Amino acid sequence: MCDHCPDTATAQPVQHIDNDQVRVTEWRFPVGAETGFHRHEMDYTIVPLNPGRMELTGPDGTITHTELTPGVSYFRKAGVEHNVKNIGDAAFAFVEVELKPAPEAS
């Protein structure tokens, strides 16, 4: 452990698309990295790129563990609140596709 390193690594986002319909972000998680607590403002789909083990901490402190399997996607509605942490022994990445609401017809 070094005395100039942060206590917790931060997951790294790489934005691929951000238009009127979707936001597509690749998230890279080195071992031990986490997102920090956040709330999803849009419906979203996660597409794992490689295997990984995540720890999800909810707003009430509830902790769940999830295994990522490449190509096995999942969908969540807007409003999800959590911190996501890589608790595995290897880095992993996934693509997050956020679905923006359709503009109101005039």
Domain limits of the chain?
A: 15-99
Which residues are paired to 39 by β-bridges?
A: 81
20, 72 contact by CB (below 8 A): no
pLDDT number for residue 1: 36
Band the pLDDT of 104: cuts 50, 70, 90: confident
pLDDT number for residue 7: 58
Mean of pLDDT values over 70-86: 97
pLDDT digits (tens, 9 = 90+) for 20-70: 999 999 999 999 999 999 999 999 999 999 999 999 999 999 999 999 999
d(CA 41, CA 62): 20
86, 33 contact by CB (below 8 A): yes
- Percent of the chain exceeding pLDDT 90 equals 87
What is the CATH number assigned to the segment(s) 15-99? 2.60.120.10
Within 8 A by CB and 6+ apart from 68, the residues are 48, 50, 51, 52, 53, 54, 92, 94
